[in-house]
Amino acid sequence: MSVIYQRVALIGLGLIAGSMAHAMRRGGLAGEIVGTARSAETRKVAAGINLVDRVTETAAEAVKDADLIVLAVPVGAMGGVATEIAPHLKPGATVTDVGSVKRAVIDAVQPHIPGGVHFIPGHPLAGTEHSGPTSGFAELFDNRWCLIVPVEGTEKAATDRLVDLWKGMGSNVDVMDADHHDLVLAVTSHTPHLIAYTMVGVADDLRRVTDSEVIKYSAAGFRDFTRIAASDPTMWRDVFLTNKEATLEILGRFTEELFALQRAIRTGNGELLHDYFTHTRAIRRGIIEAGQDTDAPDFGRGGQHT
């Protein structure tokens, strides 16, 4: 593949930026990759493992002469970073982000983007519960979706170029409106994370009663919750604070369904439970058929748990 952007600046050097650096190198998509992070420790680790070609002390230095700038910091930090880099952006450059919420990022970043610079928000639907400069890997985006959320008036050529980059990093790409993005993600990612956090919290309360049996006999259902609930606290705090409306809407619906199932259990309505679980099983099949997960038992772990 050929170089798509001569110089790429990564602001933030965690899981997503690190994976982008690996994937861009794998595809030969960037002439030079420059990176920076808030803490000296992260910059030192990133430089030590050659995560990028050059590590700078500040974001202002990193964006100098960059053709693509990627904001890969928690959603709540995007506005502050945009303020810092704005005076140093090259005319004709593209600023994008990878934040998990889109409306709030647009509101925080767009006002700072100078004329002549493209701002094209994005969100790769790929991640793990790990974070930091050593957590990234080149395959993270392979066959995963990346949603591009162009703001009004964005030049098509600039969007196409960013789309090419994501495809070069292994992603499938769709274009979506910001509010729709935030609602879809509230259903597919944000509310499930909140439920996982809650379930692990409940089990932890119980653990005090059962003296660590919860951990010892931890079966797949609970283990999967704990994996999700191990995700970065800052990132997820920001997701809920900035995708408030959509998350509350989906949580409201979730609570209603939960009450309906609770009632079915109380009244012994096996038919309702069976129908419900038959329907949800079909949804799982759809995800596997779409190539978005493995159908190996226990996600291919080979464990004995159910």
Identify which of residues 42 and 56 has a Cβ nearer to ligand NAP in the complex.
Answer: 42
Number of residues that bind ligand NAP (CB under 6 A): 26
Within 190-219, the residues that bind ligand NAP by CB under 6 A are none
Q: Is 75 in the site for ligand NAP (CB under 6 A)?
A: yes
- Out of 9, 62, 235, 246, the only residue in the binding site for ligand NAP (CB under 6 A) is 235
Q: Is 182 in the site for ligand NAP (CB under 6 A)?
A: no
Q: Is 127 in the site for ligand NAP (CB under 6 A)?
A: yes
HEC profile of the chain: CCCCEEEEEEECCCHHHHHHHHHHHHHCCEEEEEEECCCHHHHHHHHHCCCCCEECCCHHHHCCCCCEEEECCCHHHHHHHHHHHHHHCCCCCEEEECCCCCHHHHHHHHHHCCCCCEECCEEECCCCCCCCCCCCCCCCCCCCEEEECCCCCCCHHHHHHHHHHHHHCCCEEEECCHHHHHHHHHHHHHHHHHHHHHHHHHHHHHHHHHCCHHHHCCCHHHHHHHHHCCCCHHHHHHHHHHCHHHHHHHHHHHHHHHHHHHHHHHHCCHHHHHHHHHHHHHHHHHHHHCCCCCCCHHHHCCCCCC
Q: Is 165 in the site for ligand NAP (CB under 6 A)?
A: no
Q: Is 74 in the site for ligand NAP (CB under 6 A)?
A: yes
- Out of 24, 29, 37, 186, the only residue in the binding site for ligand NAP (CB under 6 A) is 37
Identify which of residues 98 and 250 has a Cβ nearer to ligand NAP in the complex.
Answer: 98
Window contacting ligand NAP (CB under 6 A); options: 127-135, 180-188, 256-264, 295-303: 127-135
What is the Cα–Cα distance from 133 to 216, expressed in whole angstroms? 31
Q: Is 12 in the site for ligand NAP (CB under 6 A)?
A: yes
Identify which of residues 66 and 75 has a Cβ nearer to ligand NAP in the complex.
Answer: 75
Interaction pattern, residues 130-149, with ligand NAP; x per rule: CB under 6 A: -xx-----------------
Window contacting ligand NAP (CB under 6 A); options: 23-31, 123-131, 173-181, 216-224: 123-131
Within 83-122, the residues that bind ligand NAP by CB under 6 A are 98-100
Query: What residues make contact with ligand NAP under the rule CB under 6 A?
Result: 12-17, 37-39, 42, 72-75, 77, 81, 98-100, 123-124, 127, 131-132, 232, 235
